[in-house]
Amino acid sequence: MSEREKSAQTSEKPGPPSEEANKPSATEAVVQLGQTSVPSAESHIFCLTIIGQIEGHLILPPQNKTTKYEHVIPQLIAAEQNPKIEGLLVVLNTVGGDVEAGLAIAEMISSLSKPTVTLVLGGGHSIGVPIAVSANASFIAETATMTIHPIRMNGLVIGVPQTFDYLEKMQERVTRFVTRHSNVSEQTFKELMFKTGELTRDIGTTVIGQDAVKHGLIDAVGGVGEALGELNRRIRERRLSGEGANGE
C-alpha cells in the first residue's frame, strides 16, 4: 500500500467528537431545563426560572409543567462557583408544590454569597412564597398574586397526635423562614395563612401586587427592569467593596 493510500485511509477515520458537538443545543436546554446557555455565556447575571409545580421526591404526571429540584440545585451550585457569574435573578410563576423541595431551593438561594433578586410574575403561590422572599431583594409585578395557606399532606394520614405534631413542625419551618427573610411579622403571616372566607375551597389569603408589599412579604412592586436594576446596583456595590478589601 502506497503512502498516499495510507494517508487517505487515516484522514477518513472519524476522530473523537469535539466539545461543541457534545454541548446540548440551545433548544434542548430550553426544553429540558427552561434555561438557555446562550445569554448566560455573555452575561454576568444568571437567570433561574421557577415555573409550574415544584416537583419533589415523586414524579408528577407528564402533562404538568414542573420545576425539578434535581435540576435547580446543580444550577445554583454552578452559579456560585462560576467566577463569571456575579448575580442571580430568580423569576417565579409557580403554583407551589413539594414543601421540602421548595424549602431546599429557598435555603440554597438565601445562602448564596453573590447578590440575588427574585421577581414574582403571574404567581408565587404556596411554597413559592419562601422562594420569593429568599433573595437579597424581592419584586412582584402589579398583577401578580401570592397565595398563603397552611401546608397539606398527601397519601396515608394516621389520626394520631404525632401526625398533627409533625404538621405543626412543618408549618413552623415555613413560617420561620418567611418571617426571617422578609419584613412580615409572624402574627400577620399567620393571620393571612389561617384566614377563612376568602378562598372558596381553602383556608388562606391571596395577596396581589401592592398588597404583598404592604404586608411586608415583598420589597417592592416592579418588573424585569426594576429587578435587573436592583441586581446590577448590588453587583456594583459588591465590586467596590471587593476592590476596597483588595486595596487594603
> What residues are labeled active site?
126, 149
Contacts 24+ apart (CB under 8 A), 235-239: 235/44, 235/45, 235/86, 235/87, 235/115, 238/86, 238/114, 238/115, 239/86
CA angle, corner 141, sides to 135 and 142, nearest 5?
A: 140
SS3 of 84, please? coil
Phi, psi of 125 (to 5 degrees): -90, 160
Q: How far apart (Å, rounded) are the C-alpha atoms in residues 214 and 201?
A: 25
> Strands 137-140, 66-68: parallel, antiparallel or unpaired by DSSP?
unpaired
Unique residue bearing C-alpha cell 404583598:
212
CA-based nearest residue to 89, from 52, 136, 51: 136
Question: How many beta carbons lie within 10 A of that of residue 241, not counting itself?
Answer: 10
Cell reading at 178: 418567611
Q: Do 116 and 239 meet the contact criterion of CB atoms below 8 Å apart?
A: no
Cell of 110: 438565601
